[in-house]
Structure 1
Amino acid sequence: MKTQKNLAKATLLAFAAALAFGLTPAEAANIAKVDGQNVTLDNGVIEIHLIKNGTATYVSKNHGPNLVENVIKRKLSFYCDYHPAGQKDLPFLSDEVKVYKNDENEAHIAYIDTKSPLAIEYHYRMTKGDSGLYSYVVARNNTGKTYKVGELRTVYRIDMDKLPYAYNSERQGLMPSSDHMKAFKRLQDETYDMDDGYKYTNGTVYSKYDYCGYLKDNPLWGTFGNGKGFWFIPVSNESYSGGPMKQELLVHYDGIILNYLTSAHFGTSVFPIPKDWQKMYGPWYLYINDGSSDEAVIFDAQRRAAAEQRKSPYTWVSEPESLYPQVRGTVKGTLKLSNGGIVDRAQVILARPGADIVHERGSYIFYTDTDGHGNFTLGKVRPGTYELTAYMQGGYSGDVTTECKKGSIKVEAGKTTDLGTVEWQVPDRQTIWQLGTADRKASEFKYGGELRNYKWWKLLPETDVNYTIGKSVEGQDWYYAQVGRTKYNIHFQQPKVKANTYHLTVALAGYSDQGHGSFDIKLNGKALKHCDYANDQTVYRSGTTSGTYHQEDFDIPAADLKAGDNVVTFDDHEGLIMYDTVVFSAVK
């Protein structure tokens, strides 16, 4: 009896919708109801009301509460915007809604802006009975010249009264509201020293950067609570900028879920978009779920993220092959060191030939890890020509700081490109001592790899640090970063291994400054180099693992070493230096 009443109610609602939109009953069965730029998407499970520019005023599952109810008074949700260099954010301003498909099983629409400097198509796709929807963006330079953009993103504001907790792969916890934060002392951008800070983070200071994360390590992020969740699932990282070391804002205060398609955060610079450039970002998947507990909701979302990754690339995408090829290729091979060493832990990347991966934003990037024998396979690669780059992530050969490069790799649709053995050229040197390991991270040092928080860099010593090879312990006596006007010294004895020339490699996991910082690298008081890098903002924005990688190499004549104690000094002048590894070797 109850089922019959529900069916009757649904029939009346459908008839009412038909009247409201001027539709026939058959048209009312379609998932999308389109009235100018007002669109209702309803697949029987999820209902979303969109208005001009593709923003959402109503998001509900099974006629439950509106998940964006308490955000629309301040700002809309589901919006897209971009930030031209040196200007304020520009909202996406749609001219029209285009309907690609609309029936009772599937709706695919796009809000389109053809007039702005960055022309954008903002797509949504929903299928019958699914507990979410897909979305993607196509962006095009509409200026006829180079156009500089700091960031391009989509943003999902969710009602914190209903979903009060934030989640990413590094952490989960309660979120504050911006009104609550602003009642306390502001230390820097979106960073506050709060009396109740421990409710929201791992310290008294809460920052929006606490919930940043590496895109490589985050198959989903979102908000949850009360047995419900709203999740952003990127599906594939190929269209995001910066490669495997790219870290980004993911979710923070006010229930804000972020999808930065490109940004200048953490060392990725402003994007000078070339004339006539266009790129498709996504698709990603927005998942709304519920369960018997918050733990069950998270586990279910994780399973759905894995399922979406397996389904990608999607056959339903109707963009040109140049924007979204559905048939991909595979690249495989084996890395071998030229000195016979083992490659048991390396990062392998395919990118545009000649690309500076950290700053690569205009094309697509693919990456994977080797197994314990140097073997790798990269699947679902877009057809095209690529350059391979590999670097160590520690392991048996964690003293190798050089990169492996191989160019002119052609990937064809439906085919496997077998590179066979790729020889990784390494210098003919014998390692005498090493601080840390070559993995482009500071995790092995004191406070390194700790859960993100503003407090860590404030715990760094304001006095000189002295580390003695063979006696000191790197996890206790050497810090992940160096700040202020301090000297970090590495003491070592004159090598027993005799050589005419020695070699010093200094690898930094990142470098920040808040003004005009710099530092000098010295050996026994003699300057080797004055260093002044671009600010990657990582150290003072809660990062404890990495920023932008830098490497310096020096040949050291044997005559420059002394009998007894020798000292490598990092003489800091207000820079914020994050360490990866320091290697001293004999040149054979």
Structure 2
Amino acid sequence: MAKSMGVKMHFRKHHVVIDNGIVQLTLTNPGGYVTGVKYNNIDNLLESQNDESDRGYWDLVWSSPDNPGTTGTFERIEGTSCEVIIETEDQVELSFTRTWDSTLVGKHVPLKIDKRFVILRGSSGFYSYAIYEHLEGFPGFNLDETRIVFKLRKDKFHYMAMSDDRQRYMPLPDDRLPARGKPLAYPEAVLLVNPVEPEFKGQVDDKYQYSCETKDLKVHGWISTDPPVGFWQITPSNEFRTGGPTKQELTSHVGPINLAMFISAHYGGNDLVVKFSEGELWKKVFGPVFMHLNTTSTGEDPLTLWQDAKNQMLEEVGKWPYSFPASKDFQQVNERGVISGRLFVYDRFISDEQAPTNGAYIGLAPPGDPGSWERENKGYQFWSKTNEQGCFSIEHILPGTYNLYAWVQGFIGDYKKPEAITITPGCDIEVGDLVYEPPRDGPTLWDIGIPDRSAAEFYIPDPDPMYTNQFLTDDPNRFRQYGLWEQYATLYPDGDLVYTIGESDYRKDWFFAHVPRKKGDNVYEKTTWTIKFKLNNVNKDETYKLRLALASAQVSDLQVRVNDLNTDSPLFSTGIIGGDNAIARHGIHGLSWLFNIDIPGTLLISNEENTIYLTQANGGTPFRGVMYDYIRFEGSALSCSGSNTCI
């Protein structure tokens, strides 16, 4: 039987072919580009009309260290030497390497890169991983992005799936060309006006509609219905990705294109660009990820290949960390450690007792400030969730020194264990009971939203009918429709949003994004949102607290004024913050921010209406704005003895 066949390899003039009887992989030699994937009697699943360097490849974007942005030089990673690492009937592992030297200044990224491909006996697919290294003497630079790309045959792969609620037949790449598509507010978004298949007419194609938080990004890919074949990218661990579990990444999109993203500035901006100084020593292993191929039995619905891919994903996750990678830089299970414990939350204005967390995210990341894991981009991260008793276990941790971080749904802020944790091979550390005390000065007088690092609970408008994609009309994907930012001016053509505590409902009355108002062609003006509330028994000698938790910010200046909109100087200003671009990219959140603002009692009025004005003062484009996560107004702990006595 074919599945019992051992793995074979042979070299051609400029190529090397690996074959295990199920899948045949062809790579350029010594470049290491994937030029062919043969499976299920299809000679090549990749787009053979493309150049050999433009079918399956590792790539990156890099820039000079003084570059302030998130773009730079695009480079496909082409090896200069090929080495056989393992060649047995059970496994073939090939290494394609390239090392920077001084003759390559300005021509190639200053890294030593070893990219590897592995095929195992009986495996319906192949693995790839890479080791990136910055060595002594290498110049400084910025690494903006790196990933693996596969461009599949557009005559075969028409159905894409990346989650149970986001899968569909897709337009063709031809539909994005000028004769068939109309570019919209940014180049990634195209209105299909004359698509090859009429069913897609009037839809928007935008790769960001298929983004996914990395905690959920484990399998995605494409299905060919004739013959029935699936091509899936499975990522069994997120330890090598940047930005923690809530970082969002691209998956698959029109092409048909399949991506394995490792580093990017998507939904993070410049904070997630990796910046290296001259001679800085750094090494990181990306992957392995698994490219899984599957097919159905005769007569079976090809779309069931998605379920099979999910099952295979669970199998790959169960194998992590893999035992087969031959590089000594990929550490095996016995070289890693474990920590466990319990996490409680204590908010004295909610309960007198510590409560066990349930579903809190808790993880190890390189040392930093509370919450720094969200902007961390050089090291490894390891995350888990607490159960109903608050218990957690984090496994397969690479040796090193970390901080233990956590965030708890329903509570603002970030937990950080004060002492660093050192992981050694084979360690099993019990950290005991940990207690997170979220920021709190006094009782809640009023609040808006849910502290969950997202704006999803707020009002998501219906999209302009011109841009509606039907597969995104229902929750939880309503926020992924194109152009929702423009609906603010439709709902508030003259005056801005006004929210009255005790009367308004944030699910209906609080727009999901605080954006500029469009006033004519390419004119976007600042906007001011108003919160009205009454207070009883204001203590003029005390200080109240306004907590603003933001889910996103894009080149914004958020200003706070109290009871006087016309004062020249705001009580508080963030200054220009943010670059995550989550409004334009349908992200519902980017990077989180928390601002704790003192409100002197002298600014407040007893037994009458008070007003807080929130001004997003930086207009100019439709995408400059913030998304709120949660807003809370706290009374003075000294003057309020209960949760409602001041309101």
Give the TM-score, by structure 1 length: 0.88
Instruction: Work out the CA distance in 2 between the residues paired with 1:568 and 1:480.
Output: 18
1:130 aligns with 2:120: no
1:444 aligns with 2:457: yes
Deviation, 1:497, is 8.0
- Residues 458-505 of structure 1: CA distance to partner in whole angstroms, max 9, x if unpaired? 222444001111111111100110111222111111146868221110
Aligned twin of 1:110: 95
- Residues 133-158 of structure 1: CA distance to partner in whole angstroms, max 9, x if unpaired? 11101111255232211111111111
- Residues 172-223 of structure 1: CA distance to partner in whole angstroms, max 9, x if unpaired? 1233333311232212122112237898989732212111111111211111
Deviation, 1:329, is 1.6
Change (3 A) 1:202 1:241: farther
1:476 aligns with 2:535: no
1:185 aligns with 2:182: yes
Instruction: Work out the CA distance in 2 between the residues paired with 1:202 and 1:505.
Output: 45
Where 2:458 maps in the other structure, the secondary structure is coil
Instruction: Work out the CA distance in 1 between the residues paired with 2:422 and 2:203.
Output: 52
Aligned twin of 2:426: 414
Match of 2:162 among 165, 168, 189: 168
Q: Is the 8 A contact 1:290 1:297 kept in 2?
A: yes
- Residues 543-563 of structure 1: CA distance to partner in whole angstroms, max 9, x if unpaired? 2x2111111111222222113
Identity among equivalent pairs (%)? 28
Read off the aligned partner of 1:230 and give its amino acid letter: F
1:346 aligns with 2:360: yes
Read off the aligned partner of 1:195 and give its amino acid letter: V
Aligned twin of 1:26: none
1:391 aligns with 2:407: yes
Q: Is the 8 A contact 2:358 2:390 kept in 1?
A: yes
Q: Is the 8 A contact 2:33 2:78 kept in 1?
A: no
Change (3 A) 1:95 1:403: same
Aligned twin of 2:26: 49
Q: Is the 8 A contact 1:494 1:562 kept in 2?
A: yes
Alignment map for 1:61-100 (pairs within 5 Å): 61-73=39-51, 76-85=54-63, 87-100=72-85
Change (3 A) 1:200 1:383: farther
Aligned twin of 1:20: none
Q: Is the 8 A contact 1:206 1:453 kept in 2?
A: no
Change (3 A) 1:566 1:131: same
Q: Is the 8 A contact 1:71 1:157 kept in 2?
A: no
Deviation, 1:294, is 3.1
- Residues 378-419 of structure 1: CA distance to partner in whole angstroms, max 9, x if unpaired? 11111222101111222xxx4x43534433112233232111
Q: Is the 8 A contact 2:47 2:154 kept in 1?
A: no
Instruction: Work out the CA distance in 2 between the residues paired with 1:402 and 1:149.
Output: 27
Instruction: Work out the CA distance in 2 between the residues paired with 1:523 and 1:341.
Output: 35
Aligned twin of 2:311: 303
Instruction: Work out the CA distance in 2 between the residues paired with 1:137 and 1:263.
Output: 16
Read off the aligned partner of 1:235 and give its amino acid letter: P
Where 1:40 maps in the other structure, the secondary structure is strand
Where 1:407 maps in the other structure, the secondary structure is coil
Q: Is the 8 A contact 1:175 1:254 kept in 2?
A: no
Where 2:305 maps in the other structure, the secondary structure is helix
Instruction: Work out the CA distance in 1 between the residues paired with 2:198 and 2:155.
Output: 16
Instruction: Work out the CA distance in 2 between the residues paired with 1:483 and 1:559.
Output: 31
Instruction: Work out the CA distance in 2 between the residues paired with 1:303 and 1:440.
Output: 30
- Residues 355-393 of structure 1: CA distance to partner in whole angstroms, max 9, x if unpaired? 632222211001122223322221111122210111122
1:521 aligns with 2:560: yes
Aligned twin of 1:565: 609
Where 1:299 maps in the other structure, the secondary structure is helix
Read off the aligned partner of 1:282 and give its amino acid letter: G
Read off the aligned partner of 1:131 and give its amino acid letter: S
Aligned twin of 1:212: 211
Deviation, 1:451, is 4.7
Aligned twin of 2:635: 586
Q: Is the 8 A contact 2:47 2:151 kept in 1?
A: no
Change (3 A) 1:490 1:47: same
Where 2:454 maps in the other structure, the secondary structure is coil
Q: Is the 8 A contact 1:37 1:96 kept in 2?
A: no
Match of 1:33 among 10, 21, 46: 10
Count of residues paired in the alignment: 556
Alignment map for 1:94-493 (pairs within 5 Å): 94-115=79-100, 116=108, 117-142=110-135, 144-169=138-163, 171-183=166-178, 184-187=181-184, 188-195=186-193, 204-226=203-225, 227-269=228-270, 270-274=273-277, 275-291=280-296, 292-320=300-328, 323-327=330-334, 328-338=336-346, 339=348, 340-342=353-355, 343-354=357-368, 356-394=372-410, 398=411, 400-426=412-438, 427-447=440-460, 450-461=478-489, 462=492, 463-484=495-516, 485-493=526-534
Read off the aligned partner of 2:342 and give its amino acid letter: T
Where 2:309 maps in the other structure, the secondary structure is helix
Read off the aligned partner of 1:431 and give its amino acid letter: T
Instruction: Work out the CA distance in 2 between the residues paired with 1:82 and 1:153.
Output: 7
Change (3 A) 1:451 1:572: closer
Read off the aligned partner of 2:112 and give its amino acid letter: A
Change (3 A) 1:67 1:496: farther
Change (3 A) 1:201 1:434: farther
Deviation, 1:528, is 2.3
Q: Which runs of 5+ in 1 are unaligned?
A: 15-28
Read off the aligned partner of 1:100 and give its amino acid letter: I
Change (3 A) 1:345 1:524: farther
> Structure 1 runs of 4+ off > 4 angstroms?
196-203, 495-499
Instruction: Work out the CA distance in 2 between the residues paired with 1:243 and 1:202.
Output: 38
Please, which moves more after superposition, 64-73 or 533-542? 64-73
- Cα RMSD over matched residues? 2.6
Instruction: Work out the CA distance in 2 between the residues paired with 1:206 and 1:496.
Output: 55
Change (3 A) 1:225 1:211: same
Deviation, 1:105, is 2.1
